[in-house]
Amino acid sequence: MTQQQCSILIIDDAYTVREYLRQTLLHLGISNVHEADSGSKGLSAFKQHHHDLVFLDIELPDMNGQQILQQIKTRADKTHVVMVTAHNSVDNVQQSIAAGASGFIAKPFSPQKIKNIVDRCLAAKLN
Protein backbone atom coordinates (compact mmCIF):
# COMPACT_ATOMS: atom_id res chain seq x y z
CA MET A 1 0.00 0.00 0.00
CA THR A 2 1.28 3.43 -0.90
CA GLN A 3 0.54 6.63 0.96
CA GLN A 4 -1.75 7.70 -1.89
CA GLN A 5 -3.90 4.59 -1.26
CA CYS A 6 -4.05 5.16 2.48
CA SER A 7 -7.36 6.22 4.04
CA ILE A 8 -7.16 8.23 7.25
CA LEU A 9 -9.79 9.42 9.72
CA ILE A 10 -9.15 12.28 12.13
CA ILE A 11 -11.46 12.43 15.17
CA ASP A 12 -10.79 15.57 17.19
CA ASP A 13 -13.09 18.30 18.49
CA ALA A 14 -10.47 21.02 17.87
CA TYR A 15 -10.70 22.39 14.33
CA THR A 16 -7.10 23.61 14.44
CA VAL A 17 -5.81 20.11 15.25
CA ARG A 18 -7.88 18.52 12.47
CA GLU A 19 -6.74 21.14 9.98
CA TYR A 20 -3.08 20.81 10.99
CA LEU A 21 -3.23 17.03 10.62
CA ARG A 22 -5.10 17.25 7.30
CA GLN A 23 -2.60 19.72 5.86
CA THR A 24 0.33 17.61 7.06
CA LEU A 25 -1.19 14.48 5.51
CA LEU A 26 -1.88 16.29 2.23
CA HIS A 27 1.75 17.41 2.20
CA LEU A 28 2.73 13.72 2.60
CA GLY A 29 0.65 12.86 -0.48
CA ILE A 30 -2.36 11.45 1.37
CA SER A 31 -5.58 12.92 0.04
CA ASN A 32 -8.09 10.33 1.30
CA VAL A 33 -8.68 12.02 4.66
CA HIS A 34 -11.96 12.18 6.55
CA GLU A 35 -12.63 14.29 9.63
CA ALA A 36 -15.05 14.26 12.53
CA ASP A 37 -15.44 16.75 15.38
CA SER A 38 -17.09 14.34 17.83
CA GLY A 39 -16.93 10.71 18.83
CA SER A 40 -20.37 9.87 17.44
CA LYS A 41 -19.58 11.48 14.08
CA GLY A 42 -16.22 9.72 14.07
CA LEU A 43 -17.79 6.31 14.61
CA SER A 44 -20.35 7.03 11.92
CA ALA A 45 -17.60 8.01 9.46
CA PHE A 46 -15.62 4.91 10.39
CA LYS A 47 -18.61 2.67 9.71
CA GLN A 48 -19.13 4.26 6.27
CA HIS A 49 -15.52 4.04 5.06
CA HIS A 50 -12.65 1.66 5.60
CA HIS A 51 -9.82 3.60 7.22
CA ASP A 52 -6.29 2.31 7.48
CA LEU A 53 -5.33 4.78 10.18
CA VAL A 54 -7.30 6.80 12.73
CA PHE A 55 -5.98 9.77 14.70
CA LEU A 56 -8.24 9.78 17.77
CA ASP A 57 -8.42 12.45 20.45
CA ILE A 58 -8.76 10.90 23.90
CA GLU A 59 -10.93 13.73 25.26
CA LEU A 60 -14.00 14.44 23.14
CA PRO A 61 -17.11 16.34 24.25
CA ASP A 62 -19.52 13.44 23.71
CA MET A 63 -17.47 10.28 24.22
CA ASN A 64 -14.26 9.01 25.76
CA GLY A 65 -11.58 8.21 23.20
CA GLN A 66 -10.86 4.90 24.95
CA GLN A 67 -14.45 3.78 24.28
CA ILE A 68 -14.18 4.78 20.63
CA LEU A 69 -10.89 2.92 20.34
CA GLN A 70 -12.53 -0.26 21.63
CA GLN A 71 -15.40 0.06 19.16
CA ILE A 72 -13.04 0.65 16.23
CA LYS A 73 -10.83 -2.30 17.17
CA THR A 74 -13.89 -4.55 17.60
CA ARG A 75 -15.14 -3.59 14.14
CA ALA A 76 -11.75 -3.65 12.35
CA ASP A 77 -8.84 -4.91 14.41
CA LYS A 78 -6.31 -4.28 11.61
CA THR A 79 -6.99 -0.54 11.62
CA HIS A 80 -4.20 1.42 13.25
CA VAL A 81 -5.41 3.89 15.86
CA VAL A 82 -3.12 6.61 17.18
CA MET A 83 -4.34 8.35 20.29
CA VAL A 84 -3.91 12.13 20.40
CA THR A 85 -3.98 14.11 23.62
CA ALA A 86 -2.81 17.25 25.35
CA HIS A 87 -2.36 15.23 28.56
CA ASN A 88 0.51 12.81 28.06
CA SER A 89 0.10 10.75 31.24
CA VAL A 90 1.49 7.27 31.83
CA ASP A 91 -2.05 6.02 32.58
CA ASN A 92 -3.37 7.33 29.25
CA VAL A 93 -0.53 5.67 27.35
CA GLN A 94 -0.86 2.34 29.17
CA GLN A 95 -4.65 2.23 28.79
CA SER A 96 -4.46 3.12 25.10
CA ILE A 97 -1.83 0.52 24.26
CA ALA A 98 -3.64 -2.14 26.30
CA ALA A 99 -6.84 -1.39 24.36
CA GLY A 100 -5.08 -1.85 21.04
CA ALA A 101 -3.80 1.58 20.06
CA SER A 102 -0.88 1.55 17.63
CA GLY A 103 0.63 4.68 19.08
CA PHE A 104 0.22 7.79 21.15
CA ILE A 105 1.14 11.41 20.42
CA ALA A 106 0.91 14.46 22.63
CA LYS A 107 -0.14 17.88 21.39
CA PRO A 108 1.54 19.88 20.04
CA PHE A 109 3.20 17.54 17.55
CA SER A 110 5.43 18.11 14.56
CA PRO A 111 4.89 17.18 10.91
CA GLN A 112 7.89 14.83 11.26
CA LYS A 113 6.15 12.96 14.09
CA ILE A 114 3.05 12.53 11.91
CA LYS A 115 5.20 11.31 9.00
CA ASN A 116 6.93 8.79 11.26
CA ILE A 117 3.59 7.45 12.50
CA VAL A 118 2.13 7.18 8.99
CA ASP A 119 5.28 5.46 7.72
CA ARG A 120 5.28 2.99 10.61
CA CYS A 121 1.59 2.15 10.25
CA LEU A 122 1.87 1.70 6.48
CA ALA A 123 4.90 -0.56 6.91
CA ALA A 124 2.95 -2.67 9.40
CA LYS A 125 0.03 -2.93 6.93
CA LEU A 126 2.37 -4.36 4.31
CA ASN A 127 3.57 -7.13 6.65
pLDDT (0 to 100) of residue 13: 95
DSSP H helical ranges for the chain: 15-27, 39-48, 65-75, 90-98, 111-126
pTM of the model: 0.92
Would you kindly state where each structural domain of the chain is located, as residue ranges?
Answer: 3-124
Which H or E run contains 54? strand 53-57
CA gap 52, 32 in Å, rounded: 10
CATH of 3-124, one of 1.10.10.10, 3.40.50.2300, 3.40.50.1820, 3.90.25.10: 3.40.50.2300
68 phi/psi in degrees, rounded to 5: -65, -40
pLDDT (0 to 100) of residue 46: 95
Strand partners, 103: 82
Instruction: Tell me the average confidence (pLDDT) per consecutive run of 10 residues in the chain, 127 residues long.
Output: 78 95 94 95 93 93 91 91 80 80 87 91 72
Which residues are CB-neighbours of 70 under 8 A, at least 6 positions away? 99, 100
Length of the chain (residues): 127
